[in-house]
Amino acid sequence: MLDFEWLTPSTVAEACQLAAQHGEEARFMAGGTALMLALRQRLVTPQAVISLAGISELRGLTWDATRGLRIGALTLHDELAQHPAVASHYPMLTHLARHMANPQVRHQGTVGGNLCYGDPSTDPPTGLLVWNAEVEIANAQRSRRLPLRDFLVDYFTTALAPDELLVAVHLPPPSAYTCSRYARHMRTAAEHRPLATVATVAIVNQGQCDEMRLAVGASSVVPRRLTTAEDVLTGRVPTAALVAQAADAAANELDALDDARGSAEFRRAMVRVTVWRELSALFELPDSQ
Ligand SMILES: Cc1cc2nc3c(=O)[nH]c(=O)nc-3n(C[C@H](O)[C@H](O)[C@H](O)COP(=O)(O)OP(=O)(O)OC[C@H]3O[C@@H](n4cnc5c(N)ncnc54)[C@H](O)[C@@H]3O)c2cc1C
């Protein structure tokens, strides 16, 4: 059994001070679904584990028509799945949170822990990117906000400094003409983890797509918005031909992972067809491919 000090701060400032004191030798623990596995496999061997469970500032989901949605870092995936304001204003996130992982992980794992681990084979980062999410980060002295796309730096790497923690995720309120979808492609039905995730948000007014946002994850080192594909549809009236063009653009733009779960070529093919299906459904176009 690993021997480590168990620390239980009750404020963000206290947790960050403890992290600053211990430096690389400490790890925060939220729900523990990822960290416990890493500890058991000796992938990390910290001298101190700082539990975030007693910090009330990190809890809660709040909706405000002007400010949008605040998702506290300790929000469970299941809380996201069940929250009425999420279902009303960001229904795609309700779908995402209801279908990811398994019931045990959804009731124990947190949104903050998911983002901070930086694992590419996950769902929330892709879904949050298309809502223009920002993350609120704090250390003992100050807090800062940055776009989620800048927070997700590389494979299992985020923009967090060792003495910083994620406090909350903020989503601006959506426009009245917003429609959205989320899909995850599974390599086999027995797996929990997606091979490719596709999130779409479109602002459609009088038949024209005023703004297209499209993110792909789980098939690249970090989930990313695919702007070439977005540009195919932004400012246009969506047609089957444009959707097919956007799907091709997404597959070409993807910097695809090539690993034991799928070759880069296979991932690009799955992304292409998933983007094509999702955009066809989003714009209610015939599904004829
Ligand atoms: C069997 C299984 C299946 C899964 N399937 C899926 C899936 O289908 N889709 C999916 O998206 N995910 C999946 N996951 C991953 C799961 O979503 C994450 O493990 C979970 O969200 C992590 O949250 P946690 O609270 O348990 O984090 P923890 O394990 O407590 O922490 C994870 C990491 O983040 C750090 N951390 C946690 N909170 C903070 C914070 N507020 N600030 C700074 N650092 C922090 C910790 O130090 C640690 O390094 C699966 C996990 C398992 C075990």
Angstrom distance (rounded) from CA 62 to CA 170 = 10
For the CA of 108, the nearest atom of ligand 1? 26
Ligand 1 lined by 35 (C-beta under 6 Å): yes
Q: How far is CA 18 from CA 57, 76, 163, in A?
A: 17, 24, 8
The set of residues, in sequence order, having a beta carbon less than 8 Å from that of 254 and lying 6+ positions away, is 216, 219, 220, 226, 267, 268, 271
User: Is-contact 44 34, C-beta < 8 A?
Assistant: no
Looking only at Cα atoms, what is the longest distance across the chain?
Answer: 62
Q: Last residue of a domain, which of 111, 136, 171?
A: 171
Does residue 289 sit within a domain? no
Final residue of a structural domain among 29, 51, 73: 51
Closest residue by Cα to atom 53, ligand 1, is 33
The ligand 1 atom at the shortest distance from the C-alpha of residue 37 is 53
Q: 26: closest CA among 46, 41, 12, 2?
A: 46
105 with 191, same domain: the answer is no
Can you list the alpha helix ranges (DSSP code H) found in 83-212? 84-89, 91-99, 103-108, 111-117, 124-129, 148-151
**Residue whose CB lies within 8 A of the most ligand 1 atoms, among 95, 122, 222, for a mutation test:** 122
Mean pLDDT of 48-53: 98
Q: In this model, does residue 289 exceed pLDDT 60?
A: no
Buried b (16+ CB within 10 A) or exposed e, 5-36: eebebeebebbbbbbbebeeebbbbbbbbbbe
What phi and psi, each to the nearest 5 degrees, are found at residue 91?
A: -55, -30
Residues 65 and 137 in one domain: yes
61 belongs to a structural domain? yes
Q: Are residues 130 and 184 in the same domain?
A: no
Confidence of residue 185 (pLDDT cuts 50, 70, 90): very high
User: Does ligand 1 lie within 6 Å of residue 31's CB atom?
Assistant: yes
Q: By alpha-carbon position, which residue is closest to atom 36 of ligand 1?
A: 113
pLDDT at position 36:
96
Same domain for 140 and 156, yes or no, is: yes
Rounded average pLDDT over 217-228: 97
Is residue 113 lining ligand 1, measured as CB closer than 6 Å? yes
Q: Are residues 20 and 47 in the same domain?
A: yes
Taking the centre of ligand 1 as the mean of its atom positions, its distance from the CA of residue 218, in whole angstroms, is: 15
pLDDT value, residue 20: 96
In degrees and rounded to multiples of 5, residue 184 shows phi and psi of: -125, 130
Mean pLDDT score across all residues of the chain: 96
Distance 117 CA to ligand 1 centre (A): 6
Q: In 3-state terms, what secondary structure has residue 150?
A: helix
Instruction: Looking at the CA of residue 123, tell me the nearest atom of ligand 1.
Output: 11
From CA 257, how far away is CA 195, in angstroms rounded? 10
How many domains does the chain divide into? Answer: 3
CA neighbours closer than 13 Å in the CB half-sphere of residue 214: 28
Tokens of 13: 């400032």
Structural domain containing residue 263: 178-282
Same domain (yes/no): 127, 215 = no
Domain membership flag for residue 99 = yes
CA distance 25 to 82: 36
Q: Is the pLDDT of residue 184 over 80?
A: yes
Same domain flag for 26 and 80: no
> Is residue 118 domain-shared with residue 90, that is, in the same domain?
yes
229 neighbors 246 (Cβ within 8 angstroms): yes
Q: Are both 166 and 182 inside the same structural domain?
A: no
Residue 28 belongs to domain with CATH number: 3.30.43.10
**Residue at which a domain ends, from 121, 143, 171:** 171
Q: How far is the CA of 217 from the centre of ligand 1 (A)?
A: 16
For residue 211, how far is its CA from the centre of ligand 1 (angstroms)?
A: 32
Residue 202: both structure tokens together: 């479109």
Q: What is the CATH number of the domain that holds 124?
A: 3.30.465.10
Would you place residue 190 in the very low, low, confident or very high pLDDT band (cuts 50, 70, 90)?
A: confident
Q: With a 6 A CB cut-off, is 52 part of the ligand 1 pocket?
A: yes
CATH of the domain at 276: 3.30.390.50
Q: Are 286 and 210 in contact (CB under 8 A)?
A: no
Tokens of 239: 């047609």
Q: What is the distance between the alpha carbons of residues 72 and 59, in angstroms, rounded to a whole number?
A: 5
User: CB–CB of 182/262 below 8 Å?
Assistant: no
State the pTM of this model: 0.96
Does any ligand 1 atom lie closer than 6 A to the CB of residue 218? no
Q: What is the pLDDT of residue 224?
A: 97
Flag whether 223 is in a domain.
yes
- Find out whether the beta carbon of 79 lies less than 6 Å from any atom of ligand 1: no
Of 145, 107, 156, 152, nearest to 125 by C-alpha is 152
Q: Which residues pair with 136 in a beta bridge?
A: 145, 168
Q: What is the pLDDT of residues 99-113, one digit of tens each?
A: 999 999 999 999 999
Distance 9 CA to ligand 1 centre (A): 20
288 assigned to some structural domain: no
Residue 188: pLDDT band (50, 70, 90) is confident
Q: How confident is the model at residue 245 (pLDDT cuts 50, 70, 90)?
A: very high
* Ligand 1 pocket, residue 100 CB under 6 Å: yes
What are the helix and strand counts (H, E) for the chain? 12, 14
